[in-house]
Amino acid sequence: LPAAALQTPDIFATGSWDNEDNRISIWSAGDLGNAGLNGEYHGEPHLLCDIQHNGDVMDMQFLDQERIVVASSTGTVTIFRHHQNNQTLSANHRWEKAHYHVDQDTSCGGAACTGVVCNNPEIVTVGEDGRINLFRADQKDAVRTIDNADSSTLHAVTFLRTTEILTVNSIGQLKIWDLRQQRNEPSQIFSLAGDRVPLHCVDRHPNQQHIVATGGQDGMLSIWDIRQGTMPVSLLNAHEAEMWEVHFHPSDPDHLFTCSEDGSLWHWDTSTNVSEKPSFLHQGGRSTAYLSHSTINQSVVSAWLSNDPTKDRMEITNLIPNQTLSVNSLDVLGPCLVYGTDAEAIYVNRQLFA
Amino acid sequence: TGAPLTDPVPPQVVPGADSSARQLCFAWGPAEVLVCETLFGRAGGCRSRGFSRSPCPSRFWREGGAGAAALALTGSFAGTEDGAPSSSRVFVVRRDQDIYIQALRKLFNESHGIFMGLQRSEEELAGKSRKAQLVQVSKNYRSVIRACMEDMHQAAVSTRDPALQGQYSTQVSILSAMELIWNLCEILFVEAATAGPLLLRLLDWVRLHVCDVDSMVREVLSSESPSKHELFWNVVDVFVLQGRMDEARHLLSKEASANPISMNMYKILDDLMKKMPVPSLSNTHTLTELELKWQHWHEECQRYLQDGTFASNPHMESICKILLGDEDAILEKKELMTTWYHFLVTRLLYSHPTVKPMELRFYAQSSMDLFLGRESSPEPLDMILMAAFEFEMHQVIKECSIVLSNWWFVAHLTDLLDHCKLLQSHNLYFGSNMREFLLLEYASGLFSHHSLWQLGVDYFDHCPEYGRVYLELHIERIPLSTEQKALKVLRICEQRQMHEQVRSICKIMAMKALRNNRLGSALSWSIRAKDAAFATLISDRFLKDYCERGCFSDLDLIDNLGPSMLLSDRLTFLGKYREFHRLYGEKRFLEAARLLLTLMTAHIAPCSFWMTLLTDALPLLEQKEVIFSAEQTYELMRCLEDLTAGNSDKQKIQDDDIETTKVEMLRLALARNLARVIVKEGTVEGS
């Protein structure tokens, strides 16, 4: 049921997919003050309000405290406003058919908008039509549109810096776009060598902006250093099926979370100093060439770039044992983790580091 | 309508289809039936079966059994033929209507998890722990039913629409009946309780499900002085009838303290109730021990009744009679028991506490007869419970399939019983076995739902014989609205090595992309499907676009083809041709020239494209320094001659001016290049 989940400190929003009648819902994660230190927590998350949404919810993100940007499979991008005083949702602004095939005016021309990212007031969306749109929350028309930015489907987008964005596509490429430049070309292209495995998600390290994580169709987690090379620094065998989302913990970036079609949700932890941990990872073969660069200055370089097999410091835990249906979405903030699955359930985990 | 286990299925009417005026025809689909009106009148030809009018058979249950059809939507009007006066309609009839109830989605999703857990838990444990595990699974199923029931109840209470409210409360009653049946099956089949514990389980069962009296109990208990309440004795009776001795004694003690005169009488009754021997779960007493004790206690009760200890108080006298298992005394409390199975359990409690499972059927039958009397006949629920008491498992499942409006119940129950190894002996005349048959039906229902189809996949996986075929048929019918959904479906197929379906999904997606002019996406999809023919088609589109526009689109894709380039010859050519352009752009002329020549001599390029390739060679021939060697120039010349020779045969007439000019120019350029190269090579060799 839920396609996406994200949160501000005490509420989170979800969107559904593959229903005849899809909905955007706002949930209260419960009063965090009540969460006892002993790990016992009694409050159930409860529904505050919801609103009908046209098409599958493909992606969503909070623009600010009360506005949510939602990407639809119909190609429409909508801003919903959550009125906190009377707990209602309303459509605040809508860009109809921001993504489209062939012709914007024909009735069936909408193409699914697959990813959205906001940096108030700017909103960037990408879609199956390979188009990149830049919106401003207060402007009626798109500020900038790059038609045919990609020949294949763009799956996800994130901000690298305020003027630069990163996109991943279905032929295993990671592209950097500089929105200041008028050229409709990416400023840099990175790609997985050879096998062209589609990438489904991308996230940037919150503090060290050159570190980027992506997840692919084969469940592989790739860590990229965008300062050097055109290939990933390391490839980590992870899930058995499509990795749908990857997120660095926003305030504790030694932790990374990934979820996948195979029904698992993994917590990657590089903060532990226990070396010689038995590990079920293997290092991507072609990454070794780059390690020599990054190992020069161990103390400064993030753990994400220095994980060579001999002193592997990463600890990985699967947070959902025995789940069979896909985990479509996750978000993490502070001690909270929210994820939604195809078993039509949403889970909230409040003691991430307990 | 093809119910699985019975012949005489109550016929159902398809609303709106007038079978009296016209003959109906129908076609089976995997999850639904198409019914349409034909042009034939009632009289001619053979009658269509199935959808004839008859009175609605079910009273307690909602209209429509699982095997029966229920109208889900009426189709559009089909066109009339030959100016026929009225239009024919096509109906889409779906089988499992409960699938579409929003509030039951939780049930389907949660039980899917339990089901999967059960399939995974195969056989590692033996004996007792295995049984405990199965009982736990059964309890999990029941708690999901109860949770759904509560949700539904909440919904019924909170809604203001009376029609909706009615719908919800019907659902609640169906769910509670399902839970009642399941619980009994759990006691009798899954746990297979033995004499002694059996009675305790049945008591729990009755206490849990006969809750009509609960409100009365609450009212009395919450009143200021319960003993003065007019329903006081009713409540005491309820407690006694359900074997809740401690609660009954507690109430009685209140009455006793308010009534010091009859203190002695209360004391004796209290003592009797306290001393009543009950079977224990911990098996500290043997059955014979218990029987002895019980006999002793029974005689004591008998004594007090006969010497008229309770004669002054009719309430207490009747309680004493109940303790003695006096059927008439118990039957007098019919109103408090509400159901015959409550009567059965009470009767067992006070007259046959050590009843063995196999003796149940006799008591059950006579209890039902006694309780219902002559005026009312048993309802479907009664028949199902009776079948369970008779240990007729198949009868239970059969009746449930007929009477319930969903496959969920029978499918999951049968699966559980099958895991208890209780159904092995039974074979159907068709399909594989009953478990699989029911699971297939249920999963087919899930697949017809817009959002629940993903659950169905796992059910099919656990049907060893026909599951895969069903899955193959159903998965092709999932509408692929977005790429993400397509990827999910594709993953399902790939995990199960369903190559045919993988190909068809990729092809659909590629076609879609092609229609939307997304050549890059289309090519990606056909590469994923390893569909050479389609890749060729798309490559041709790319080349055509190039010829028309003079530049390539989707460079990021073509430059990154990698090994997938080898999928089709045309794709290889496309990749190589693009490589030529790149080399040329990077001014690596020698390599570019070599590549260009290989494309023709190795016959990678399609003949229709040779002219373009040769034209591409022109600027190379005109470069300041010599690029093509003498040998290479000869080969180029031969290519040109092959091309013109082939052309002159077929399309001499079409030879237009531009073509001839091109050929002339090429010839000139080749000749000049040859001249230069001879000079150059001559000088190099000479020096």
For chain B, the domains span 205-354, 480-586, 607-686
Whether residue A171 lies inside any domain: the answer is no
Dump pLDDT digits (tens) for B174-230: 899 999 999 999 999 988 888 888 888 999 999 888 777 778 888 888 887 777 778
pLDDT of residue B270 exceeding 90: no
Tokens 């199960």 correspond to: B496
A107 and A226 housed in the same domain: no
Dump pLDDT digits (tens) for B69-116: 333 333 333 333 343 444 556 666 665 566 677 778 888 988 998 998
Residue range A274-301: average pLDDT?
A: 35
Q: How far apart are CA A84 and CA A68, in angstroms?
A: 13
Whether residue A72 lies inside any domain: the answer is yes
Minimum Cα–Cα distance from A219: chain B residue: B491
A130 and A206 housed in the same domain: no
pLDDT of residue B522: 87
Band the pLDDT of A190: cuts 50, 70, 90.
confident
Report the C-alpha dihedral over residues B485, B489, B490, B493, rounded to 10 degrees.
180
Q: How far apart are CA B53 and CA B61, in angstroms?
A: 19
A315 and A236 housed in the same domain: yes
In this prediction the ipTM stands at 0.83
By the 8 A CB rule, do A51 and A91 touch?
yes
- Name which of A19-33, B322-336, B581-595 the model is least confident about: A19-33
Tokens 């689909």 correspond to: B29
A145 and A209 housed in the same domain: no
DSSP string computed for B412-436: HHHHHHHHTT-STT---SSSS-HHH
Q: In this structure, what token pair is assigned to residue A230?
A: 């055109």
How would you classify residue B498: left for phi > 0, otherwise alpha for psi between -120 and 50, otherwise beta? Answer: beta
Report the C-alpha dihedral over residues A81, A85, A88, A90, rounded to 10 degrees.
-30
- Calculate the alpha carbon distances from A107 to A74, A140, B597 in Å: 11, 21, 48
* A128:B524 CB<8 A: no
* B109:A324 CB<8 A: no
Q: In this structure, what token pair is assigned to residue B276?
A: 């009543």
Minimum Cα–Cα distance from A22: chain B residue: B451
Enclosing H/E stretch for A79: strand A77-83
A314 and A222 housed in the same domain: yes
Residue range B552-581: average pLDDT?
A: 79
Dump pLDDT digits (tens) for B468-502: 999 998 888 888 888 888 988 999 998 899 888 99
Q: What is the DSSP letter of B45?
A: S
Q: Which of A149, A182, A216 is the last residue of a domain?
A: A149
* B521:A112 CB<8 A: no
Q: Which of A156, A228, A235, A155 is nearest to A193 (CA)?
A: A235
Which of the two residues, B491 and A286, has the higher pLDDT score? B491
- What value does the mean pLDDT of chain B take? 78
Band the pLDDT of B364: cuts 50, 70, 90.
very high
User: Does B117 contact chain A (CB < 8 Å)?
Assistant: yes
pLDDT of residue A107 exceeding 70: no
Domain span at A207: 198-272+300-353
Q: In this structure, what token pair is assigned to residue A36?
A: 């006892």
Q: How far apart are CA B595 and CA B580, in angstroms?
A: 6
A89 and A212 housed in the same domain: no
pLDDT of residue B651: 53
Question: Which chain A positions have a beta carbon within 8 Å of B455's beta carbon?
Answer: 325, 343
A130 and A2 housed in the same domain: yes
The 10 Å Cβ neighbour count of residue A336 is 20
Q: Kindly report the three-state secondary structure assignment for every residue of B83-122.
A: CCCCCCEEEEEECCHHHHCHHHHHHHHHHHHHHHHHHHCC
Question: Which chain A positions have a beta carbon within 8 Å of B478's beta carbon?
Answer: none
Q: In this structure, what token pair is assigned to residue B84?
A: 């026929």
pLDDT of residue B283: 62
Q: How far apart are CA B299 and CA A351, in angstroms?
A: 62
Count of domains forming chain A: 2
Nearest chain A Cα distance for residue B625, angstroms = 34
Q: Which of B34, B6, B3 is nearest to B383 (CA)?
A: B6
Q: In this structure, what token pair is assigned to residue B560?
A: 């990154």
Tokens 């026909």 correspond to: B466
pLDDT of residue A67: 85
Question: Which chain A positions have a beta carbon within 8 Å of B554's beta carbon?
Answer: 148, 151-152
Dump pLDDT digits (tens) for A8-49: 456 777 788 777 778 888 877 654 443 333 333 445 667 788
Enclosing H/E stretch for B236: helix B232-241
| CB-count burial class (<10 Å; 0-12, 13-18, 19+) for B120 | exposed
Helix axes B467-475, B434-447, angle to 10 degrees: 10
Whether residue A164 lies inside any domain: the answer is no
Chosen from A153, A192, A242 to mutate, greatest number of chain B CBs within 10 A: A153
Chosen from A1, A155, A167, A324 to mutate, greatest number of chain B CBs within 10 A: A324
- Name which of A309-318, B303-312, B441-450 the model is least confident about: A309-318
pLDDT of residue A141 exceeding 70: yes
Does the N-terminal peptide bond of residue A121 adopt cis geometry, omega within 30 degrees of 0? Answer: yes
* B520:A101 CB<8 A: no
Tokens 């069979």 correspond to: A324
Band the pLDDT of B650: cuts 50, 70, 90.
low
Dump pLDDT digits (tens) for A231-262: 788 888 888 888 988 988 888 888 888 888 88
Q: How far apart are CA B214 and CA B197, in angstroms?
A: 25
Question: Which chain A positions have a beta carbon within 8 Å of B147's beta carbon?
Answer: none
A222 and A117 housed in the same domain: no
Q: How far apart are CA B409 and CA B390, in angstroms?
A: 20
Per DSSP, the three-state class of A219 is coil
| CB-count burial class (<10 Å; 0-12, 13-18, 19+) for B612 | middle
Question: Which chain A positions have a beta carbon within 8 Å of B450's beta carbon?
Answer: 18-20
* A171:B556 CB<8 A: yes
Q: How far apart are CA A234 and CA A211, in angstroms?
A: 11
* B450:A20 CB<8 A: yes
Q: How far is CA A332 from the centre of its chain?
A: 11
pLDDT of residue B16: 61
Residue range B451-472: average pLDDT?
A: 89
A144 and A2 housed in the same domain: yes
Question: Which chain A positions have a beta carbon within 8 Å of B538's beta carbon?
Answer: none
* B117:A322 CB<8 A: yes
- CA dihedral sign, ordered B583, B588, B589, B592: negative
User: Does B482 contact chain A (CB < 8 Å)?
Assistant: yes
CA angle centred on A285, ends A279 and A290, rounded to 5°: 105
Whether residue A69 lies inside any domain: the answer is yes
Band the pLDDT of B289: cuts 50, 70, 90.
confident
Q: How far is CA B132 from the centre of its chain?
A: 27
Give the CATH number, domain containing residue A322.
2.130.10.10
Question: Which chain A positions have a beta carbon within 8 Å of B524's beta carbon?
Answer: 152-153, 170-171, 198
pLDDT of residue B70: 36
- Name which of A252-256, B97-101, B341-345, B453-457 the model is least confident about: B97-101
